[in-house]
Structure 1
């Protein structure tokens, strides 16, 4: 994109409403254009660089359609206004303090000799899971609206520069569409679905799912799922064949010809549904796109992991606890074998179905366990919420309980709406204000506590824990 040059040698562009922007540093570059910073910290400019005349005519119409869509509740740097003709581009808004995910992946490669130290330095397992959760949520919400994202890659995923945070946004929304069309053929090397790489299919929500799975595996293990020993020790043609879907993935259950021994172990996430989802995507989904896990499945599995992670006080790494675990007595850090913090609190989810007729609740031993377990570590806080893949974590629904674990003990925050009861033994107490359980009282009662969410004489959720 060529910009006007002022007397001060500043490159400037103007949007269709008359606002003027100074082009700053280049943030990312893709097959269709370049993204620039401007003098405004939260405003970016995307310039369209495709020289194809038909594409240049179609692109502004598509961006104008995107501007009219209601995408304000999604973490997308959506187009706000087109640039004034003859420029071909648009203005978008992105929160400050974000960098391309690609920069994190490149640091992994550069730090190959100290891979574990870099893994921890970049936020460890917990941050990676939260980055992937936010990305999965955005894609799931797009797919639920009948839209596809298109050319998903680490270059158009932006994350917090600060490793203590996991804010995740998508930029480069040019390919968002209601349906695949002739313009949706671009893909980024390494991340395109096999049928797209072979030139047999257009981009779709199913190719989004493939690209997401590749990015997720790479982020979690430091290795591409199809770049095992067969590819790394072979000729360049082997890598091309692997990306076309002609070679098995690293952990293929039927063919171990492409194993890899350089990546971080997949056992990091063995106590989760992720290994099975990767297997489905890269084995059955390699041949049949409809067999790939949906974004809702990825989101649910990632959210479950985030609820079962504990941090090691010795090395700072995160360990995923098994869903079958009832006590932390036998748990140790995955990386350094340090015993887990014995003060961890386990919250187990149940459904209470009132009996028909007399309206009385069922006896405690007949409550239906959902199998969901959430762990809270000293110094941490959590939201006890129903696990719904479509839920937006930027909002606070009335039936979600906030709990924090401070030096003083456990703190339970009341619901903004609805009813909350705390039970120990047979007594139930209506919680209308903050309730604290002192650390000094922990272990003095054998009976578990139960938090009832909703009306007691109706079907409702119960969270059980011991203190």
Structure 2
């Protein structure tokens, strides 16, 4: 069977026709095929030409077959080679039809063209159109909450991979995919041919420019789990704040110093930044490369996330051993996502307990709209009636209005686990008549419910559903959950005004 410019035959004689390009980089190109659930990774040379010579085909074939033999964890969302291509270095992989790369979170030319002057709201009218469009695109693509949740899912995948002694090797926005629908947040990793066991010497060094760990860019190492952690943290910070963690005033032209006298030539400044030779933009001890660009980090990052970024990009910049492992990230990101609410005025997300410095009340930090009414779940570890509840182990907050439907995930009712913390355990519907609590068809929790101001109220076991009469900010109800670790959950209304 002959092969045209956009037709590829795999090792099982299946014909694949090229469709939309999903991403392109130094290692190759990824594109969809006419089959909506299949994609192809095609290896290209430095000029972008597909690799077809016999010697390279044999080398890449061995590499792709090795990946297929790796003991990857079950049900891990990583698109591995399903079939190798004939006459081209590349392979066919599964990729669900409704997925897009993380790079779609950044404003591109087409998305910018789709935002017309009339789309720019009054609260953004004081900034240049180019910057206003970035923020519009930010909330149109799900805002802070969706980004935090997507990063939590990605970190969970990497944690499972690292937990099986493997590294991913080339983390970048083009290699992480997410469901296109705003309400869905399934995350997959593609470009799996770089996955391998950790090696301390030998082998090829692979990374995407701007995301490679300093030790890789400086050719001091060959890639470890800590290298993955740096790349992930760069993606996360860039995704949340809209600026690269190492592109500050030393690099963007806003530094007042004379860089012509510096050891590094001006043409090398960005390369030096990406190599980790400069402090990061929010370094607490060195502001020589600071930046006021991007979204305010105080509105984006919790205390835990701030510490993780600081440790990764400060101490971890010069010593990979001092970086937080990937296991620290999933819980911190999930906790942050669960405390965000959406502003009814501007559609931006912010943390529910934010106090606006001008109003000294719960107002949106972007447009000053009063906080919407929210439902707050505070989950406590239950150690017995004679023990103090202490501090909540988890908070889950969502804005509510008439006819609101909420899904309460397992992490609110049990210890956080990276594999199943997203499972829907409880469904809650809010209306003028009260709140209806239903057990999810997929849930395993044993749940009891009581209404009243004290947890000593009589609990009623939830078999199917229970209705709580109309609630006000002065009333609340309790849920007692038993899975692996008992939880007492306080559920209350948070008004827009303190």
Q: TM-score range by the shorter chain?
A: 0.7 to 0.9
1:421 aligns to what?
Answer: 448
Deviations 1:42-64 (A, max 9, x none): 11122233569876544322322
Deviation larger for 145-154 or 381-390: 381-390
Which SS does the other structure have where 2:92 is aligned?
strand
> Does 2:363 match 1:332?
yes
TM-score, structure 1 as length reference:
0.85
Q: Is 1:139 paired with 2:158?
A: yes
- 122, 145, 159: which is aligned to 2:178? 159
1:245-301 residue CA offsets vs partner (Å, 9 max, x unmatched)? 221111111110111122111011244411111111000100111221222211111
Q: Does structure 1 residue 253 correspond to structure 2 residue 284?
A: yes
Per-residue deviation, 1:163: 4.6
RMSD between aligned residues: 2.9
Residues 226-257 of structure 1, C-alpha deviation per residue, up to 9 Å, x if partnerless? 10111111523222222222211111111101
Once the two structures are TM-superposed, the CA of residue 28 in structure 1 deviates from its matched residue by 2.0
Change (3 A) 1:389 1:255: farther
Task: Give 1:358's aligned residue.
Answer: none
Q: Name the TM-score, length of structure 2 as normaliser.
A: 0.80
Alignment of 1:390-401 (within 5 A): 390-393=418-421, 395=423, 400-401=425-426
1:243 maps to 2:269: no
Note the C-alpha offset of 1:93. Answer: 0.8
Change (3 A) 1:157 1:406: farther
CA contact (8 A) 2:79 2:93 kept: yes
Residue equivalent to 1:410? 435
* CA gap 1:278/1:380 in 2 versus in 1, 3 angstroms: farther
1:451 aligns with 2:473: no
Q: Which SS does the other structure have where 1:79 is aligned? A: coil
For 1:79, the equivalent position in structure 2 comes to 81
Partner of 1:37: 32
- State the match for 2:44 in structure 1: 49
Query: Who is 2:116 aligned against?
Result: none
Measure, in 1, the Cα distance between the counterparts of 2:29 and 2:418. Answer: 32
Query: Match for 1:369 among 372, 391, 395?
Result: 391
**Residue in 2 that maps onto 1:96:** 97
The alignment partner of 2:8 has SS state of strand
Q: How does 1:154-233 map to 2 (within 5 A)?
A: 154-163=173-182, 165-180=184-199, 182-233=202-253
Pair 262,4 (structure 1): closer, same or farther in 2 beyond 3 Å:
farther
User: Aligned equivalents of 2:310 and 2:473: distance in 1?
Assistant: 46
Q: Distance in 1 between matches of 2:445 and 2:247?
A: 52
Residue in structure 1 matched with residue 378 of structure 2 by the alignment: 348
2:413–2:481 contact (8 Å) kept in structure 1: no
- Which moved further from structure 2: 147-156 or 72-81? 72-81
Q: How many residues were matched structurally? A: 440
Distance 2:156 2:61 in 1: 28
Could you list the per-position Cα deviations for residues 140-193 of structure 1 after superposition, in whole angstroms to 9, with x for gaps in the alignment? 121112111111111212234445544432211110112236444021111101
Aligned-partner Cα distance in 2 for 1:188–1:239: 14
SS in 1 for 2:391: strand
2:64 match: secondary structure: helix
Q: In the aligned structure 2, how far is the partner of 1:297 from the partner of 1:310?
A: 24
Are 2:379 and 2:488, in contact at CA under 8 Å, matched by a contact in 1? yes
Aligned equivalents of 1:63, 1:347: Cα separation in 2: 47
Q: Secondary structure at the match of 2:361?
A: coil
Partner of 1:357: none
Instruction: Tell me how far 1:340 sits from its aligned partner.
Output: 1.0
Of the three residues 13, 21, 31, the one matched with 2:16 is: 21
Q: Quick check: 193-202 or 87-96, which moved more? A: 87-96
Deviation at 1:387, TM superposition (A): 4.6
Q: Secondary structure at the match of 1:349?
A: strand
The answer (yes or no) to whether the contact 1:184–1:203 under 8 Å persists in 2 is no
Q: Aligned partners of 1:269 and 1:222: how far apart in 2?
A: 11
Q: 1:430 corresponds to which residue?
A: 461
The C-alpha deviation readout for 1:12-34, integer Å capped at 9, x for no partner, is 22222222212334332233322
- The correspondence for 1:296, drawn from 327, 331, 337, is 327
Unaligned runs of 5+ in 2: 46-50, 113-128, 254-258, 260-265, 494-498
- Secondary structure of residue in 2 paired with 1:392: coil
